Structure 1
Amino acid sequence: MNPRRWPALAVMLIAAYMDLLDTTIVTVALPSIQRDLGASDAALQWIAAGYTLAFALALITGGRLGDMYGRKRLFLIGVAGFTVASALSGLASGPGMLIAARIGQGAAAAIMIPQLLTVVQVGFREDERPKAFGLYGMVLALGGVSGPLLGGYLTEADLFGWEWRTIFLINIPVGVIAFAGSALLMTESRAQQRLRLDPAGMLLVTIALLALVYPLIQGRELGWPTWTFVAMGAAVPILAIFWAHERRRSRVDGSALIDPALFHERSVIAGLLVAFVFFASTSYFFVLTLHLQVGLHFSALETGLSFLPFAGGVIIGSGAAGQIVPRIGRAVVTVGALVEAASIITMIVVVSRYGDALSAWQLAPGLVGAGLGLALVSATLVTITLSGVPGNHAGSASGLVNTTLQLGSAVGIAVIGVIFFAALPTGHPLQPGDFVEASRQSLHLAAGLAALACPLSLLLPATRPTRGAETVRETVAR
C-alpha cells in the first residue's frame, strides 16, 4: 500500500476542483464574454455546452486509456491538457477560439477525472475508501457552491484589466501545482487484463451526437435551412450503426465502447432514460443567467450571489437523501423530480409576476427547491441504476451513466437555448420586459422535462439501497 496515497489524493482533488469549477464558473461570465468578443447567441450556447459535450463523449474512453497505459500517466496528461486549454481560453481572441479551447478543456477533463476515482478504488483499503470518497464529495459540493460566486467576483473585480479572462487564467498556477504534486506523489497502476480501444465506436457516437446538437444550436441563426433537419434525422441511423458495431465488437473481442450486455438490465435502461431527461431540465441556469445579467442588468457578482440558495438546497437534499433512500428507494427519485418541476414552476410564477422588478430574494424559494430536487435525484438515481449490474460491468456502467448525465445537460442547453433566443424580439434594442416571455417559455420546457422524469422513474426497479451502498461518489465521475 502506497504510504503517500493520502497526499497524492489531496493534489488530485485540487485538479478535480479545478475541473468542476470550470463547469460552473463560466455561466455568470457569459454576458461579459458576449460583450467583449462579440459572440453570437449560438456561440454562447457552444461555450456552455461544448465543454460538457466533449467531456461526455470522451469520458468512457478516458477511463479505458488509464487502464491500458497507466492511470498516473493519463492523469498527468489530463492535467497538463486542461491547464493549456485554460490558458488558451483566457487568451481567446474570438468566439471560435474560445469554443475550441472549451472543447479542449472538456476532453482533457475526461482523461483526468476517471483516473482519480479508479486510483481511489484500487489504491486504498476497503475501510479507507469511504473517507476518500467523502473528501471527493466535499470537493464536489465546494465546487458547486463556489463556482458561480467566484466567477462573478473574478469577472467583476477585473483583475489586471482581464475581466472574464481571469476565470480561465487562474487555472494556470493551480494546474501547475496539481501537475507537480501528482507527478511527485502518485504511483503508477494499470489494469491487469489486456484491453483495447474502440476508435470506430467513439467516432460513430461523436458524429451522431454532433448531427443532433449542432443543428439545434446553429439552426435558428441560419434560418433553419433544410440541412439542419436532415442532419438531425441522420442521427438516428448513425446511432443504429453504432449499436450494431458495438454488438459486433463485444462478440469479437469484448472491446466495445459500451457493452451491450448492460442493456439486459431493466435498471440500466430506465436509469439512463430518467438521467437524460432530468438533467436536460437542469439547463435553466443558462437562461436565468442571461435573464438576470442582460435583461435585468445584475452584475456578475450579484448573479453569483443570487444562485447561493440553490447551493443551500443541494446541501439540504444531500443530507436528507442519505436518511430516506434506505427507506423508500426509487420513490426518492420520483419525489426529487416532482420537487424540481414544482420549483421551476415557482420560478415561472415569480418571473411573470415581478417582471423587470424581479429580485434575487423572490427567486430564492424556487432555487432552494430546485437544489433540493437535484440532490434527491442525484444521490439516488445512479445507485439504483447500477443495482442490478454485475460487478465485472460496474466500471463500464458507471461511465455510461456519467456520460448520459453530461449529454442530457448539453442537449438541454441546446434545446432550451433555442427556445429562449427564438422568443426574444428582433428589430429593436431589447428591454427588460422582453426577457420575461423568453424566460417563461424556456422555463416551461425545463419544468416539463423535470415533470416527465416523474412517471419515467416508476420504470426503475423498486430497490432500496443499503446505507453503505447509497453513495453516488463510488460510481459517478463528477
Structure 2
Amino acid sequence: MRAYEWRVTPPLNPSQDPDYVPDPARWRILGVLLVTVFMALVGVSIVNVVLPSIQTGLGASQSDIQWVLSGYALTFGIVLVAAGRAGDIFGRGPIFIAGLVIFTLSSIAAGLAPDASTLNIARFIQGLGSGLLNPQAIGMIQQYFRDGERARSFGLMGTVIGVSVAIGPLLGGSLVQIFGVEHGWRWTFLVNVPVGILALVLAFRWFPKPMLNGSPPARAAPVEVADPESIPLGRSWLPFTKTRPAGYQPRDLDPIGAFLLGIAVLMVLLPFVESRGSAWTWTMLPAGLAVLALWAWWEHRYKLRGRSPMVDLHLFRGAGFTNGTIISGLYMLGMTSVWVLVALYVQNGLGRTALEAGLISLPAAVMAAFGSHWSGGKVMEYGRRVVIWGILCALFGLGSSVLVIHWQTAFGLNFWWLLFTLSFVGTAQGLVISPNQTLTLADVPLDYAGSAGGVQQTGQRIGTSVGIAMMTAIAFATLAQTDWQTAITVGFGAIACVVLVALAVAVKDHRRRLVEVAGTA
C-alpha cells in the first residue's frame, strides 16, 4: 500500500482568530446582504396571499397553484448545502451575485409568464437563485464579523426577516387591489426587480475585489502530521489533505457528495410538498433516507481518501452545532404551521376576509423584529438562555391563543384578542431563530461557514415542509369529526409537543455550556 504523509491545515475559527482585523467595509457588505434577504423573503411571503389571483389570471389548476409554492421550496432546499460549499471554496461574493442575478431574472420571467407552466418553471429557477445566495449571506456574516458584532448582525437579519414577513402579505394584497385580480399578481414578482438591481449595483460597488474574483481567505500555515488519527479529538473535525506544496489551496466541490445530498433532500421533501400526489410518492421517503445514509458514507470515505468533503461530518461532533441544528429543525417543524392554521381558522372557521387574516399576524411580525434586535445584543451575554426564553414565550402564545379561541364561544370574546396572544409567538421567533443561529455557528471554522449554514437551513426547510404537512393533516382530520375550535386546539397541541422537545434540547445544551464554563474556570 502506498504511504502518504498528511498535513492538517487549521481553518480560521471565526471566534478565536487572533489575527482578525475588522474590514472597514463590513457594515456596507451587511447592508447589501440585508437588502437581498429582504427581497427574497418578501418574494416568498407575498406569493401566499395572491394564489387565488394567479389562478384567476392564468386559469391555473389547483395542482399548478400548489407547484407555485412547492417548486420554489424544492429547488431552494436541494441546492443550499452545495451552494454553501461552493462559496466556501470559490468565494462567497461571486456565488452570491450569481444567485442574485438568477433570482432577479426569474422574477421578471414569473411576472411576465403567459401560462401556468412558464410561471412554475420561473419559480423553480427563482428557488435556485435564492438557494445560491442565502448560504453566502450567512457565510459572509461569519467571515466579516466576530463575537458581539456578529450577534448584532444576525439580530439585524432577524429584524429584516420579521419586517419582510409582515410587509409581504400586505404588499401583495395592496398590489392586487390596485392592479386588479387579473394582473395584480404579476406585480408581486416584478416588485423584486428594482430591489435586485439595487442590490447588484451595491454589491459590485461595496464588495471587496478579492471577494468578487473568488480569491479564498488567507489560511494558516500547514502543519505536517504522520498520522491523522493521532490528532486530539477536539480537533478531529479538521479537513485532511495529502501533503502539497506550501501555499496550495485545494478547491474540491465534491460533486458526487453534492449530487447524493441533493437527491436525498428531493426525495425526502417531495412527499410533503406534493400533498396531492399518489401513494407511491410516499415510497420516496424511505428511499430518500437510504440515499442520505449513502451520502454520509460517501462523505466519510471521501475524507479518508485525503479529500475535502462537501460537509465534514465531524462538525456534528461539536455538541453546540448539533444541538443548535436540532433546535432549529424542531422549532421550524412546529411553529411555521401556526400561521397556516390561523389563516385557515380566521377565513374558513370565522368567515373573515384574507386581509383580516393577514392583519392578525402584523403585531407578531413587529414583535419578531423587535425580539431579533434585542436578542442580537444580548445573546453573547446570556447564551442559550435567550433561546429557552423564546421557546417558553412560544408555548405561552400557543396556550393563550387556544384560550381566546374557546372564550369566543363561551364568553363572547372578540377574536381580535389573537393580535395580543399571537404577538408572543412573534416575540418567540425573534428570540429563537437568530440567537440560535449565532450560537450554532459560533465555533464553526471559516472554511465550512457556508456549508454549515446550508446544513442548518436545509434542516429548517425540511422541518418547515414536514411540519406544515403534518400539522394541517392533524387539524383537518380533527375537523372532519368535530369543529374548528377543537381542530385548532388539537393542531396547536401537536405543535406544542414538538416545541417542548426543542425546549428539552435547548435546556440540555445550556447545561452543557455551564459545565464547560465551570470546567475552564
- The TM-score, its normalising length taken from structure 1, stands at 0.80
The match for 2:456 is 401
1-side partners of 2:140 and 2:442: how far apart? 22
1:332 aligns with 2:386: yes
The match for 1:78 is 99
Query: Residues 27 and 105 from structure 1, CA distance in 2 versus in 1: closer, same or farther, beyond 3 angstroms?
Result: same
1-side partners of 2:384 and 2:336: how far apart? 23
Q: Whose Rg is larger?
A: 2
- Number of residue pairs aligned between Structure 1 and Structure 2: 455
Gaps spanning 5+ residues in structure 2: where? 1-21, 218-248, 515-521
1:450 aligns with 2:499: yes
Superposition deviation, residue 17 in structure 1:
1.8
Superposition deviation, residue 218 in structure 1:
3.5
1:213 aligns with 2:269: yes
CA-based RMSD = 3.8
Letter in 2 for 1:164: W
Query: Residues 234 and 292 from structure 1, CA distance in 2 versus in 1: closer, same or farther, beyond 3 angstroms?
Result: same
Superposition deviation, residue 19 in structure 1:
0.9
2:375 aligned residue (317, 321, 338):
321
Query: Residues 204 and 442 from structure 1, CA distance in 2 versus in 1: closer, same or farther, beyond 3 angstroms?
Result: farther
1:263 aligns with 2:316: yes
1:240 aligns with 2:293: yes
Check whether the contact 1:250–1:260 (CA below 8 A) recurs between aligned residues.
no
Superposition deviation, residue 376 in structure 1:
1.8
1:58 aligned residue (76, 79, 96):
79
1:412 aligns with 2:435: no
Check whether the contact 1:53–1:406 (CA below 8 A) recurs between aligned residues.
no
The match for 1:27 is 48
Letter in 1 for 2:311: I
The match for 2:333 is 280
Query: Residues 45 and 8 from structure 1, CA distance in 2 versus in 1: closer, same or farther, beyond 3 angstroms?
Result: same
Check whether the contact 1:27–1:289 (CA below 8 A) recurs between aligned residues.
no
1-side partners of 2:149 and 2:510: how far apart? 30
The match for 1:368 is 423
The match for 2:432 is 377
After superposing the two structures, state which structure 1 stretch, 68-77 or 404-413, moved more: 68-77
Query: Residues 413 and 15 from structure 1, CA distance in 2 versus in 1: closer, same or farther, beyond 3 angstroms?
Result: same
2-side partners of 1:328 and 1:124: how far apart? 19
2-side partners of 1:380 and 1:68: how far apart? 26
Superposition deviation, residue 241 in structure 1:
0.7
Listed as ranges, the matches of 1:3-402 within 5 Å are 10-34=31-55, 46-92=67-113, 97-119=118-140, 136=157, 138-158=159-179, 161-186=182-207, 187=209, 188=212, 189-192=214-217, 193-218=249-274, 221-222=276-277, 225=279, 227-284=280-337, 285-293=339-347, 295-321=349-375, 325=379, 328-354=382-408, 361-387=416-442, 389=444, 393-402=448-457
Superposition deviation, residue 37 in structure 1:
5.3
Check whether the contact 1:61–1:257 (CA below 8 A) recurs between aligned residues.
yes
Superposition deviation, residue 148 in structure 1:
2.7
Letter in 1 for 2:502: A
Superposition deviation, residue 42 in structure 1:
6.4
| Aligned partner of residue 509 in structure 2, secondary structure | coil
Check whether the contact 1:31–1:293 (CA below 8 A) recurs between aligned residues.
no
Superposition deviation, residue 369 in structure 1:
0.9
Query: Residues 354 and 19 from structure 1, CA distance in 2 versus in 1: closer, same or farther, beyond 3 angstroms?
Result: same
Superposition deviation, residue 248 in structure 1:
1.4
Superposition deviation, residue 341 in structure 1:
2.6
Check whether the contact 1:151–1:300 (CA below 8 A) recurs between aligned residues.
no
Letter in 2 for 1:196: D
The match for 2:17 is none
2-side partners of 1:32 and 1:171: how far apart? 18
Query: Residues 425 and 130 from structure 1, CA distance in 2 versus in 1: closer, same or farther, beyond 3 angstroms?
Result: closer
| Aligned partner of residue 308 in structure 2, secondary structure | coil
Check whether the contact 1:49–1:410 (CA below 8 A) recurs between aligned residues.
no
Check whether the contact 2:155–2:373 (CA below 8 A) recurs between aligned residues.
no
Letter in 1 for 2:342: L
Letter in 2 for 1:213: L
2-side partners of 1:130 and 1:330: how far apart? 13
Superposition deviation, residue 6 in structure 1:
6.2
Gaps spanning 5+ residues in structure 1: where? 427-432, 465-478
Larger RCO: Structure 1 or Structure 2 (Cα < 8 Å, ≥ 6 residues apart)?
2
Query: Residues 420 and 50 from structure 1, CA distance in 2 versus in 1: closer, same or farther, beyond 3 angstroms?
Result: farther
2-side partners of 1:302 and 1:105: how far apart? 29
2-side partners of 1:418 and 1:155: how far apart? 30
2-side partners of 1:291 and 1:399: how far apart? 34
Letter in 1 for 2:375: A
Letter in 1 for 2:462: L
| Aligned partner of residue 197 in structure 1, secondary structure | coil
Check whether the contact 1:52–1:409 (CA below 8 A) recurs between aligned residues.
no
